[in-house]
Structure 1
Amino acid sequence: MPKAKHSAQHQAVAHQNVSSPDPSYEVVNRVVFPIRDEDLTMPLYCIEWTRPHLTDAVMDARINMQSVDFAHMNSTQLQHLIDESVSSRDARSSSDVFHVDSRTALTVHAGKHVSLCTFFNAFPAGYWRRWTRISSVRFTAQVQGQGALTLFRSTGRGLFSPVETVPVDSATPTTVTVDFDMHGLMDGGYFWFDAKASDDSSLQVQDAAWSVPLAERRVKEQTTLSIAITTFNRAPYCMNQLKTISAEPPLRARLDTIYCTDQGTDLVQNQPDFDAVAKELGDQLTYIRQGNMGGSGGFSRGMYETLKAGKSSYTLLLDDDAISEPEAILRAVQFADYCVKPTIVGGGMLHLDNRTVLYTQGERFTRHNIWMAPSGGLAYNHDFAVFPLRDSPERHRRIDSDFNGWWMCLIPTAIMQEIGLSLPIFIKFDDTEYCLRALEHGYHTVCLPGVAVWHQAWHDKDPSRTWEEYFFQRNRWICALLHSPKPSLRFMYEMLYGDVNVGLKFVYSAFKLRHMGLRDIMRGPQYIVDSMPGKLAEVRKAREGFADTTMYTDRNELPAPKREYVAQQTPQSPAVIKKQGLKAIAKALISRGDGTHDTEPDIAIDAKDAIWRAFTGINSAIVTSPDGSSIAWCRRDSKEFRKQVKRGLLLSSELLKRWEHLSEQYRSYNMAGVDVWKRIFEGQ
């Protein structure tokens, strides 16, 4: 393969036969490969090389300012649009192209070509350029066989170019080293390598890694971390987390201990493998039992114990039911070590049931409506198996975040010492609020590409149909009081919108929980803290007796519906949908419909279709639960709907009138203080 040309500004130098890594550089990203579930996750690590293609919009952003005018498009233009939109990919198995030899080694078969421009193995240079002071990055790898490595770099626009092509022709392992400078990365960009075997011989690449100058590390001493895992009756999942961590020597070398806070009745310590794993981990496992205080109580316990022990530089919050990539944990720690100031380092969330789909890589907090949106306008649920990183130019842009979900989040001890622990609010908005609080103290949150866990996605969940709706409603507006001292009429609109939404779906239990949440907010921060341990039981009790909370697991327990709901297949414009929604609200407010005495349901609605449109024009419906495990016979009660909407308006109006006073109360009360949590833990 001919050597690629490169300008002097790349400062890329290829060295071979280097016996050992330069001690002045520190490895911060190892190139790793999956050794289990390869068929489900491999596109996140390594893919077969395909000819690159960039759309016109990458070259000229103005193209995306124009809508597509199909009416004036000729056949040539239509074909061009199709060619731009459709990508043909070989359906053959990756094993036909390469073979994973170990966690850090792969062999490219003769005549084959692979790319490491993937989620887990491309180096996120743009993020290192923004948040650290490193001046260069070094790539090293052990190679053997015949072929070539080609090193690439991209910009924030997704444009990329070769930096260096290194021929390989060696029967014994040989070291390749290539240095990169940090120019052209202000808006983002990645470094990566492709590997191509010769037609006659395979090519092995092992121990590939990205290193940075050790002298440019902010934290001069060796750092360590504690891991906080909280679990509630998910013992097998939590056990798998402990096994994964215990089997990863590089991670354990930086680990002080795992604080496993078990808040359930199906205990992790009763799992068959617990004793063996506990023995393997030794004092690197601290098993704690406490009453159920939700995610905020479980994670705060780990944070609290970390501060009390006084050893760890960081605490990693890690969900019990997530599947971890251990290398990602190390990357988060290494990145935090080099950040200019203490920084919260978060990871993305990949779908547990569709392993190549990235739910999000960082989110923004939208203050006008106290909600969230994907950072940088990037869509949720990006599938790297269909749209690889190299061919997704929008993913090369560095995106900044306001907060990171606590499925995986590394928090420096210095930040915890200054701003405290999580709010004592059980679940929901604890992660959002913490990062906003940190930002107000000058500490940013970075969701770092190449750092992620697999976690159950939200498409089979609907908080409005569970007890979680109380905590969603209450904690959303507590977060608003803490970080938006001035009220907005938009807040009242959001509260009304939420009420109407659950009412249109006949979920009257949610009305009760939502209004209960607003009343509790107005009782003040002391009440929120004092009610922490027993609030869940109270909320569960409040949901009892509603048609939408009376669940059946046997379909034959209920009469057959008159018909089944079939979703409208004809797409409509947002303006038309909005008009239909307003019409549905108006009809519901004047309706005299009553399904409370129906003897047979009007309709059956599947979980995926259980939105307001499915409930228009009917009085009762059999509705499948979001997880598909049960059904409820939901019934219209028009009088109750009007009553609860009116009550919600009165409560939200009162909250807005008292907003500034309540905001001052909540902001001056140190709800997340270590002393507050100490009282909660000792008082259980």
Structure 2
Amino acid sequence: MLVKDDRIYYQIQKIIMPNLDLGGDASLYVRPHGPNAGAIQPSRRILLNKFGVWSFDTFYNGLTVQSWKKHTEVSDLFFTLEGQGRFIVRIGLHRLECDKRFLIETECEIFEGKPYRLPIQNWGTLVNGLLYAEIQALEESSISGGKFETTSPPLKNVHLGLVITHFKRENAVKKAALRIQSTLSQEQEGKNIRLVVVDNSQTLIPEDVSGATLLPNKNLGGSGGFTRGLLYLKDEGSFTHCLFMDDDASCEVESILRSYRLLSYSKTPRFAIAGSLLREMAPHFLFEKGATFDGMCRPQHHGLDMRNVHHLLLAEFETRLPDYGGWWFFAFCLNDIRHFPFPFFVRGDDIMFGMINNFVITTQNGIASYGDDFGYKSGPLQIYLDVRNHLVQVLTHMNGSYADCEKLLNQFFDSSVRSFNYATARAVSMAIEDVSKGLSFWIQNMDMSEIKKKFTSLNQSEKMQPLSLTDIPGGVDIISHAHWTEKLYRRFVRKLTFNGLLLPNKLKKKTPILQNKNFSGDARVIFRYNSVVYYYNPTEQGYIAHRDLSRLISETKVFWKARNAFKTNFTQIKLGYERGYLDLTTEDFWRGVYRNIK
């Protein structure tokens, strides 16, 4: 029974029940032990059979000890269970290189509307690990919810602005706004969290955003849209923190609330939160949990399975803090902003924003968004955007040399031509030429309208469209062992023949090879093939790319010309960026941009 006392309890993490809102695997939320444990109801309630056991050592419902220990001064912890019936409640702890152990076990009886609160007396001695509840029913019972609480008051009075930048995804933003607004209205913290929708396509009306603030805006991409939201938060005057989110806000609203609480309790200067990115098509798959940048993007903890307890622990094991957080979910304090976004339009703005503001970025299991496969969306325009932003990062705050620039340019170009994606190869050269024009290029092309026109025809040869594999004459070859180890002599021959280019025709295969659509093809697999079918099974779309010697020669000439011109003028180009790039990240610069927009 809930013991009455005079203390005030503050919620820091609420149990999320499995639901169909986002389509995540139930094992991301809760684990039944055995086939007769019970069932999950559509009403987000768990029915437990007699002696049925359910545990919450999951991505969404385990509590990450180290992030609360490192960044806050929470002095005590309680677990509160809501439901009806007789239970054994156990508080368990998973740690890397340690066996699972239970810290507490107690028997209780709970009545509807009268939850049971259990003090976790070991909290003061814990260092790291995944803390969780395991519930066993002693009779047919039900669980309606639960939460971790503390009597330690928050250190800050946070007022959080959620900024969503929208462009022609009306249905997605309408659903997101309704879901966020309706959930926040039921939460105590909701009064201090407000949603702001920046409408870059100017296709929404106030009724579409369910009471959120709507800001019609000129389309200056994510850079301009999120900056417009930042300026609004600063001008409004009551906000202390900001959370950038994708326009579909594809996350559990509890992820927003957990971020709010962590920000409220944080004692760490320049503290920021980067939400993990889970694969929308397979939500257990972790794309990244923070990222570093060394001239190329390096997602942290990529490929881990968030249904697996050991992988959950690995995901929380830090050897290096993230350099930046993707703007699908990134929260920070407004007073910590030294620099506004660079006008990249899209791609790379989150990298530079995170790095030049020197945020201390944390990630946490249970704070996440769902996203599309980046490789599926990749094409000439996307690679153009990647190359130019990578190049600018290296020229400016990375203080890179020409050799650093040449290395990344060669990587982008070589992966394109080896994949027979010659339009993408041309995009690499175009990016070099545009970056070489200096800072004036960015000011003159903030809306990218003229640049997009150049890609209208270029995109066509690599455009994903409906494709039936059975309609391809002769079928396709499939090599399923994608992680095989290539023998040394094969690799030598492949390099010697420029990945099969110089092989005699009789050694080349006429049947196309099937490759999953990604940023590029696998050069090891493509070797000896003259055609590649790039295919994305979830949408049954793809295209066929062919080896083309004349196109290879022409694109190589264009690339060498652009790269050599960049090399010749490197000192001047680099100096121009170093002297002026921060001027394009000031509040005054962006206010001037919007002041001049009619």
- Does residue 340 of structure 2 align to residue 421 of structure 1? yes
The 3 A distance-change label for structure 1 pair 46 and 509 is: same
Aligned partner letter, 2:16? V
Q: CA offset at residue 147 of structure 1? A: 2.5
Query: 5+ unaligned residues in a row in structure 2: which ranges?
Result: none
Partner of 1:394: 314
* Cα contact 1:605–1:624 (8 A) shared by 2: no
Match of 1:381 among 303, 306, 319: 303
* Cα contact 2:166–2:201 (8 A) shared by 1: yes
- Alpha-carbon distance in 1 for matches of 2:204, 2:511: 43
Q: CA offset at residue 312 of structure 1? A: 1.0
Classify the secondary structure of the residue corresponding to 2:58: coil
- Alpha-carbon distance in 2 for matches of 1:545, 1:452: 35
- Does residue 278 of structure 2 align to residue 350 of structure 1? yes
Deviation per residue, 1:55-85 (Å, 9 max, x gap): xxxxxxxxxxxxxxxxxxxxxxxxxxxxxxx
1:160-239 to structure 2, matched below 5 A, reads 160-169=100-109, 173-183=114-124, 185-186=126-127, 188-198=128-138, 201-215=139-153, 217-219=154-156, 222-239=157-174
Partner of 2:331: 410
Aligned partner letter, 2:120? D
Partner of 2:18: 34
Kindly tell me the number of residue pairs found equivalent between the two proteins.
581
Partner of 1:119: 59
Match of 2:49 among 104, 109, 114: 109
Classify the secondary structure of the residue corresponding to 1:18: coil
Q: CA offset at residue 578 of structure 1? A: 5.3
- Alpha-carbon distance in 2 for matches of 1:656, 1:223: 46
Aligned partner letter, 1:401? P
1:97-496 to structure 2, matched below 5 A, reads 97-100=38-41, 106-142=46-82, 144-157=84-97, 159-169=99-109, 173-183=114-124, 185-186=126-127, 188-198=128-138, 201-215=139-153, 217-219=154-156, 222-248=157-183, 249=185, 250=187, 253-255=190-192, 257-264=194-201, 267-269=203-205, 275=207, 278=209, 280-281=210-211, 285-340=212-267, 341-365=269-293, 367=294, 370-375=295-300, 378=301, 380-385=302-307, 387=308, 389=309, 393-395=313-315, 397-398=317-318, 400-416=321-337, 419-439=338-358, 443-461=359-377, 463=378, 465-487=379-401, 489-496=403-410
**After TM superposition, where is structure 1 displaced by more than 6 Å over at least 4 residues in a row?**
590-593
Aligned partner letter, 2:69? R
The 3 A distance-change label for structure 1 pair 347 and 224 is: same
Q: CA offset at residue 474 of structure 1? A: 0.3
- Alpha-carbon distance in 2 for matches of 1:40, 1:256: 25
The 3 A distance-change label for structure 1 pair 621 and 253 is: closer
Deviation per residue, 1:233-276 (Å, 9 max, x gap): 211111111111121121772345322122237x344xxxx73x
- Alpha-carbon distance in 1 for matches of 2:163, 2:103: 41
Q: CA offset at residue 498 of structure 1? A: 1.3
TM-score (norm 1): 0.76
- Does residue 446 of structure 2 align to residue 532 of structure 1? yes
* Cα contact 1:404–1:432 (8 A) shared by 2: yes
- Alpha-carbon distance in 1 for matches of 2:444, 2:125: 53
Q: CA offset at residue 581 of structure 1? A: 5.2
The 3 A distance-change label for structure 1 pair 651 and 151 is: farther
Q: 544-553 or 427-436: which moved more?
A: 544-553
Classify the secondary structure of the residue corresponding to 2:25: helix
Q: CA offset at residue 481 of structure 1? A: 2.2
Classify the secondary structure of the residue corresponding to 1:241: helix
Aligned partner letter, 1:344? A
- Alpha-carbon distance in 2 for matches of 1:480, 1:334: 36
Q: 468-477 or 520-529: which moved more?
A: 520-529
Partner of 2:587: 674
Q: CA offset at residue 580 of structure 1? A: 5.7
The 3 A distance-change label for structure 1 pair 106 and 565 is: closer
Classify the secondary structure of the residue corresponding to 1:331: helix
Classify the secondary structure of the residue corresponding to 2:442: helix
Classify the secondary structure of the residue corresponding to 2:431: helix
The 3 A distance-change label for structure 1 pair 292 and 252 is: farther
Classify the secondary structure of the residue corresponding to 1:585: coil
Classify the secondary structure of the residue corresponding to 2:343: coil
Aligned partner letter, 1:460? Y
* Cα contact 1:547–1:634 (8 A) shared by 2: no
Classify the secondary structure of the residue corresponding to 2:516: helix
* Cα contact 1:256–1:311 (8 A) shared by 2: no
* Cα contact 1:155–1:190 (8 A) shared by 2: yes
* Cα contact 1:485–1:663 (8 A) shared by 2: no
* Cα contact 1:158–1:392 (8 A) shared by 2: no
Q: CA offset at residue 662 of structure 1? A: 4.1
Partner of 1:44: 28
Aligned partner letter, 2:317? R
- Alpha-carbon distance in 2 for matches of 1:498, 1:403: 22
Q: CA offset at residue 619 of structure 1? A: 5.4
Q: CA offset at residue 448 of structure 1? A: 2.0
What is the root-mean-square deviation in Å for CA atoms of aligned residues? Answer: 3.4
Q: CA offset at residue 332 of structure 1? A: 0.3
